[in-house]
Amino acid sequence: MTSTPGSAGRTDAVTPPPSEPARRVARFSRAERWVHRTTAALTLLCVATAAALYVPQLAELVGRRELVVTVHEWAGILLPAPFLLGLASPALRADLRRLNRFGPHDRRWLGAVRRRDHRRGARPAGKFNAGQKVYASWIAGAALVMLATGLLMWFTHLAPLVWRTSATFVHDWLALAMGVVLAGHIRMALADPEARRGMRTGSVERPWAEREHPLWLGEEPEDELAQRPEEGAEAG
């Protein structure tokens, strides 16, 4: 077969080389994702049942108040269970140590947020930024207070009336505050698809990690993508 002179050269020149997919790095283990999903499900159940108890329109729509109360109580009692079971995971314990460390770069991050400084490098962060550390500490403390006050409201013989009245006041207002904070958490997650993908599949793209958490990849030896077959299918 005769080819036209120069045609091969032109074809080679305009054919781009195949692009390689961005390398991904492991972010969350299977156990961490299970803890997050289960805790989120129980939390949403608590919020939904609380709304059905306190909003008159929802209470009339749902009905069966005694059943709703029972579901709310047991969802609250079980809320710490995923976390306690997850402590068997070395990856979860390692991330808890990261969340408990607050260094100079975290103070820089908070200062940049206060100044609304969005310049690249103005908000240094490790695997978790300062905002995530503050959120994790606040939500953990609030959950413990909610559990304690809920038990006082459930088991009325555990404390005198003035304690139960105070517990009801704290429980109700703290629940409202938690609802606002959780709504902010969900809003930020919806604005960052790659962060959601990291929690869903366990891995994130390296450029995202280098941009959002520039100090993370230097914390440990080189991160490797250790996706299982089902994780790879989920990522696709």
Q: Are 25 and 222 within 8 A, CB to CB?
A: no
Residue 24 has φ and ψ, to the nearest 5°, of: -105, 150
**Virtual torsion, Cα 87, 198, 134, 47, nearest 10 deg:** -80
Q: How far apart are CA 195 and CA 190, in angstroms?
A: 9
- pLDDT, residue 11, reads 45
Span 223-233, mean pLDDT? 40
Model confidence over 141-168: pLDDT tens digits?
Answer: 999 999 999 999 888 887 888 888 999 9
- Look at residues 44, 55, 79, 48 and name the one whose alpha carbon lies nearest to residue 150: 79
Model confidence over 67-77: pLDDT tens digits?
Answer: 988 999 999 99
- Look at residues 131, 138, 137, 132 and name the one whose alpha carbon lies nearest to residue 112: 131
Query: pTM of the entire structure?
Result: 0.78
